[in-house]
Amino acid sequence: MSKPQFVYVTYIETTPTRLWEALTSSEFTKQYWFGAEVKSDWKIGSPFALLLDGETTDSGEILEADPPRRLSYSFKHQKYEELRGEPISRVVFTIEPFGSLVRLTVLHDGFVEGGKYFGAVSNGWPAILSGLKSLLESGKVLAIPHAALNKGFDAK
């Protein structure tokens, strides 16, 4: 039986370089990732952290960094007790020119069958990536409720 994985593909009217910047710059992520900041020097083996209001919510290590084509990091949830026991997962962003657009493929894998984290990720990523697409194309972020990130598990 295969393990669950989340895959999301979207097409964005931007450049690969601008999309890379949006994925790796706290100034960008704070706008579309519900106020969260990414922290890393984006070198293979370096630490990665996702912070919300100064608190680390997720952490990991940079696994691959090939600007502006591919970025991957391990991902371990820190905030909700219910999710701390879940295994370390992996996020992979693949950025490909597609005519005048850029195709972004996000793969998040490493989940356990029946785990709560997969449900949270499956609901959170579409909201985050929709905000990213809207920001890059229109300069505005969609007003998606923050609760979209927590849907899929019973964290309080």
Q: Where are the domains of the chain?
A: 6-150
Strand order through the sheet with 37-39: 6-12, 101-109, 89-98, 70-77, 55-66, 47-52, 37-39
pLDDT tops 50 at residue 49:
yes
32: pLDDT confidence band, cut at 50, 70 and 90? very high
With a CB cutoff of 8 Å and minimum separation 6, the contacts of 61 are: 45, 46, 47, 48, 73, 74
pLDDT at residue 142, rounded to an integer: 84
**Enclosing H/E stretch for 62:** strand 55-66
Q: pLDDT tier at 150 (50, 70, 90 boundaries)?
A: low
Q: Do the beta carbons of residue 108 and residue 121 sit within 8 Å?
A: yes
Q: 6-150, what's its fold?
A: Alpha-D-Glucose-1,6-Bisphosphate; Chain A, domain 4 (3.30.530)
For 121-141, write each residue's pLDDT tens digit: 998 999 999 999 999 999 998
For residue 18, what pLDDT is reported?
98
52-89 per-position pLDDT tens digit: 999 999 999 999 999 999 999 999 999 888 888 899 99
